[in-house]
């Protein structure tokens, strides 16, 4: 029999920007409750400490009380802090390993997910929607690709309410996760040696980062090299023959891609890469303008030759800096290809984590571009329609509505910049509105690039403009730049100006002849003082005006 306080009042510090967090009362939730007791130990970066974990989930529509019996899991775990930049946040992320009484891995099914021992408690501290990862994994799964299954919960550690968390499946080889052949240490020859492997391109944080550097530079003249890490088999389990095999396999396709025959349909990259999986990973990273995409948290996996001799791409992972949530590497822009931006000197010269050279070569191949366009057009009909995406967003927001209020009491960061936010909304509703607006603009831009026109099937969009419109600039407030979008029902002369609140013109943003349709112009805040401005569209006898805010 366990004893537990029916009411927990917490006073915590360092919630955001060093400010103390207010007391949070927590006794029950509509979400599952995860309770962890470290028995006086401190959770550290590594190694995992042994602790106790219990999970309460009374089923759909039934309230979960902190005093209820543990009915999903009640046993031992190993737990450590995980992540890279996220370790600096006060709301930590955790890697959890379910264990038996002897301390060995124990495969269990949590919330109906396939049995496994390794799990992630994701905090999503700097993603104030609390849903970017969940949204991307949901969309990816609907595309027929494996992505981590998720379950929202509220977390209490040693009586300390930690807020809303997402329980994720850790990326592993398993029939219910990355379904490739299991390798033993004795698999050192023949077909058994050829798979299955999972390798990743990522930062070198923590232990288990054994791997090798690519022979080829990520761009001409660079002294840097992309680092491939062994993920499966684990660095401590993989044997010499297996290391040699997967290194040579990667070297073989990198060498081929470094030739003029790289796009040959028989002996080029299609011989080595599962192109459909590569297309899907490409589209998801571009849809979300993921500033970590292609170069960090990037997974590849290979099965035995008898199953599939090619390298497959994925699973996708770690999208909290995507979907307009990053103020660096142009992550907030809704136009432009993220992969193309990674070609710029700003990335090449200043970042140790570069994109493998072969991504640029394959993405530039007309045959790959055609496949990407065909896949995009197919997905936009249903799985990536804005209507469906927004239904998922609204469903998640409703699901966590009650719990997210406690979360932001515990971590009062709404209206506060948390690295690397490109937008800071005053309310949770503002953050959701920004996410939807960003997605609308991004999807429409990709439609034009890949299909030559808007693909508003299921988006509720009209194909022909019926009148003049001037949309709210995005993002707003902004610094250093924002975009203004307007629509014309017919060809005409346009003048777009910016005035202060006294009506004095401070800048002509755009002027000239524009065709019928929707247009987007960029406004840079350089030379503008902080404050509220009016932007005014004049075309013919029509004048439309809106407000925008510059923050510096």
| Preceding omega of 521 cis (within 30 degrees of 0) | no
Q: HSE (CB half, 13 Å, CA atoms) of 23? A: 5
Beta strands in 303-441 (DSSP E): 311-313
pTM: 0.83
Q: What is the predicted pLDDT for the residue at 207?
A: 64
Query: 193 and 211 in contact (C-beta within 8 Å)?
Result: no
Alpha carbon distance 550, 535 (integer Å)? 12
Give, as one character, the DSSP assignment of residue 30. S
Print pLDDT tens along the chain (552 aa).
Answer: 343 333 333 333 333 334 445 568 899 999 999 999 999 999 999 999 999 999 999 998 899 999 999 999 999 999 999 987 788 899 999 999 999 999 999 999 999 999 999 999 999 999 999 999 999 999 999 999 999 999 999 999 999 999 999 999 999 999 999 999 999 999 999 999 999 999 999 998 766 789 999 999 998 888 889 999 999 999 999 999 999 999 999 999 999 999 999 999 999 999 999 999 999 999 999 999 999 999 999 999 999 999 999 999 999 999 999 999 999 999 999 999 999 999 886 676 778 899 999 999 999 999 999 999 999 999 999 999 999 999 999 999 999 999 999 999 999 999 999 999 999 999 999 999 999 999 999 999 999 999 988 787 667 544 445 678 888 887 878 878 888 888 888 889 999 999 998 889 999 999 999 888 778 888 888 889 999 999 999 999 899 999 999 987
Alpha carbon distance 258, 261 (integer Å)? 8
- 356 phi/psi in degrees, rounded to 5: -55, 140
Domains of the chain, residue spans: 190-380, 464-552
Residue 217 pairs with which residues in a beta bridge?
none
- The 517-524 sheet, strands edge to edge: 469-470, 481-488, 517-524
- Domain 464-552 fold is Immunoglobulin-like (2.60.40)
Q: Which token pair is 179?
A: 């379904």
Q: Which token pair is 413?
A: 């960061």
Cα dihedral sign, 454-457-459-463: positive
Alpha carbon distance 228, 289 (integer Å)? 23
DSSP symbols for 247-288: HHHHHHHHHHHTSTTTT-TTTSHHHHB-HHHHHHHHHHHHHT
Alpha carbon distance 55, 75 (integer Å)? 10
Alpha carbon distance 395, 388 (integer Å)? 10
Q: What is the predicted pLDDT for the residue at 460?
A: 55
């Amino acid at each position: 029999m366990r004893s537990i306080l029916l009411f927990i009042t917490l006073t915590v510090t360092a919630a955001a920007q060093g400010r103390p967090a207010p007391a949070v009362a927590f006794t029950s939730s509509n979400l599952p409750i995860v309770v962890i007791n470290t028995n006086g130990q401190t959770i550290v970066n590594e190694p995992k400490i042994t602790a106790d974990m219990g999970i309460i989930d009374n089923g759909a529509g039934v309230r979960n009380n902190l005093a209820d019996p543990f009915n999903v899991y009640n046993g031992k775990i190993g737990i450590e802090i995980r992540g890279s930049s996220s370790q600096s946040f006060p709301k930590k992320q955790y890697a959890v390993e379910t264990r038996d009484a002897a301390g060995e891995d124990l495969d269990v099914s949590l919330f109906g997910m396939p049995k496994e021992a390794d799990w992630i408690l994701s905090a999503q501290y700097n993603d104030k929607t609390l849903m970017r990862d969940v949204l991307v994994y949901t969309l990816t799964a609907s595309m027929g690709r494996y992505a981590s299954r998720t379950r929202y919960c509220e977390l209490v550690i040693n009586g300390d309410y930690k807020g809303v968390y997402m329980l994720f499946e850790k990326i592993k080889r398993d029939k219910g996760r990355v379904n490739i052949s299991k390798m033993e240490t004795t698999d050192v020859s023949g077909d058994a040696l050829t798979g299955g492997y999972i390798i990743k391109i990522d930062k070198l944080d923590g232990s288990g980062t054994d791997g090798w550097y690519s022979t080829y530079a990520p761009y001409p003249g660079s002294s840097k090299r992309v680092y491939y890490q062994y993920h499966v088999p684990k660095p401590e389990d993989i044997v010499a023959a297996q290391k040699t095999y997967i290194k040579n396999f990667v070297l073989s396709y990198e060498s081929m891609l470094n030739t003029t025959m790289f796009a040959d349909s028989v002996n080029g990259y299609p011989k080595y890469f599962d192109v459909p999986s590569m297309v899907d990973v490409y589209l998801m990273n571009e849809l979300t303008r993921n500033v970590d995409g292609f170069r960090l948290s990037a997974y590849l996996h290979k099965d035995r030759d008898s199953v599939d001799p090619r390298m497959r791409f994925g699973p996708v992972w770690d999208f909290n800096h995507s979907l307009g949530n990053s103020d660096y590497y142009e992550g907030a822009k809704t136009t432009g290809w993220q992969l193309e931006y990674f070609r710029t000197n700003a990335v090449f010269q200043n970042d140790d984590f570069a994109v493998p050279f072969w991504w640029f070569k394959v993405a530039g191949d007309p045959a790959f571009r055609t496949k990407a366009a065909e896949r995009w057009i197919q997905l936009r009909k249903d799985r990536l329609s804005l209507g469906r995406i927004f239904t998922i967003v609204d469903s998640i927001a409703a699901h966590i509505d009650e719990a997210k209020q406690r979360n932001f009491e515990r971590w009062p960061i709404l209206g506060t910049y948390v690295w690397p936010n490109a937008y800071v909304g005053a309310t949770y509703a503002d953050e959701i509105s920004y996410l939807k607006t960003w997605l609308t603009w991004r999807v429409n831009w990709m439609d034009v690039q890949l299909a030559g026109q808007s693909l508003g099937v299921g988006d509720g969009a009209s194909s022909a403009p019926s009148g003049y419109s001037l949309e709210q600039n995005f993002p707003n407030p902004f610094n250093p730049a924002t975009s203004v979008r307007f629509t014309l029902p017919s060809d005409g002369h346009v003048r777009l100006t910016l005035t202060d609140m006294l009506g004095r013109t401070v800048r002509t943003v755009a002027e000239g002849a524009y065709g019928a349709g929707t247009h987007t112009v960029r406004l840079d805040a350089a030379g503008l003082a902080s404050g509220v401005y009016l932007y005014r569209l004049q075309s013919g006898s029509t004048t439309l005006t809106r407000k925008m805010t510059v923050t510096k």
